[in-house]
Copies of this chain bind each other. A is one copy, B any other.
C-alpha cells in the first residue's frame, strides 16, 4: 500500500538577516520546509496552507517541482501572504523577530480536501493548537500524527495545547520549548513528562547539539552534523520534522530502531537546509547527497568496543 503524508502549517514570505547575508521576500513557512524536506522520501506530499494572491508563481513552481500536491493550498483573492522578518545574532543561536504580518494566515481555517482525509501520516506544523485539532477532526484514523509547537502557544494557549498533545503520537519540539512546556530543566525528565501527557515519542531538537529521542522504551542521542558554514538557520527545525516524518512514511515502520533512523534523516535534512538561505539548498539537493550524509552521521558518532588491555 502506498503511504500518504499530509502536512499542515504556514506558507509565507521571509526577510532574513544573518551575519552572513540578507535576503528579502524569499519563500518560507513551517509547512513549506516540512513538505519540501519530506518530498525527498514520499511523493506527492499533501499540503494544506493558505497564501494570498500575491504569492509568486516561482514559489508555486518550486513546490510543484518537489511534487508537492497543492490541492489543499488555499489562495485568497486580494489577500496578502503571511510575512515574517528576522535577524540572527552573531552566534546564530538567538534571533530577533523584526516584523510579523499574519495577513491571510490570521484567519486560516485548515480545510482538508476530500482526497486527503485518509492520509496515513499527518504532520502538524507550528500553528494554533486549536487549528491542529481541527485538522485531526477531519482525518480518518491516521497511522501516526506528528506535531510541532512553539513558545507562543505554550504561553498563550497552554490548556488548548495540552488537549492537542493528547492527540499527537510524536511531538517534535526544541530544547527551550520542552523546558518551558514542562517547567523541568532536565531534558530526559521533560521528555518523560510529555510522554505522560500524550505523545508516545518525543524528539527534542537541540540545534548545534543534535537531537534527543525519548520513547517509552528507549533513549537515543543523535549528533549534530559539524557544519563549519551555516548561512541561515531558518526552517532547520521544520526540515528536521520533514526528513523525520518523510522517512517514517516511506518506510512505514514504527519500531524504535527505525525511529532512530528517522531522527538521523531529520538531522540530515536540517543540516543541508542551513547551508544556504531560505529553501535554496533543498532546490538542488540530491538523494545521493542525503545518503552520503546519513553515512557521515554514522562515522561521526561511531566508536568501537573497548580493547581490554591489562
Contact = CB atoms under 8 A, between A and B. Distances in A.
Taking each of A214, A220, A291, A303, which has the highest tally of chain B beta carbons within 10 Å of its own beta carbon?
A: A303
B221 A224 contact: yes
Given A208-B187, A212-B226, A228-B186, A257 B221 contact: no
Copy count, this protein chain: 2
A188 to B, nearest CB: 4
Contact of A226 (B90, B221, B230, B263): B221
A222 B222 CA distance: 9
A210 interface: yes
A223 B226 contact: no
A214 to B, nearest CB: 8
A3 B187 CA distance: 40
Interface string A205-235: 0101110101000011111101110100000
B228 A221 contact: no
A2 B61 CA distance: 69
B188 A228 contact: yes
B261 A304 contact: yes
A261 B304 CA distance: 7
A303 B220 contact: yes
Residue in A186, A230, A253 whose Cβ sees the most chain B Cβ within 10 Å: A186
Q: Which of A92, A212, A263, A306 has the most CB of B within 10 A?
A: A306
B251 A307 contact: yes
A228 B192 CA distance: 10
A301 interface: yes
Contacts of A301: 220-223, 301
A136 to B, nearest CB: 26
Interface in A186-213: 186-189, 192, 206, 208-210, 212
A68 B19 CA distance: 50
A258 B309 CA distance: 12
A250 B309 contact: yes
Nearest to A218: B299
A178 to B, nearest CB: 12
A195 to B, nearest CB: 13
A303 B309 contact: no
Contacts of A294: 306
A189 B224 CA distance: 14
Closest 9 CB pairs of A and B: A221-B223, A91-B185, A209-B209, A260-B303, A188-B226, A301-B301, A251-B309, A219-B226, A221-B300
27 contacts: A90-B185, A91-B185, A93-B185, A186-B228, A187-B226, A188-B226, A188-B227, A188-B228, A192-B228, A206-B209, A209-B210, A210-B221, A212-B226, A219-B300, A220-B301, A220-B303, A221-B223, A222-B301, A251-B307, A257-B303, A260-B304, A261-B303, A261-B304, A261-B307, A264-B303, A291-B306, A294-B306
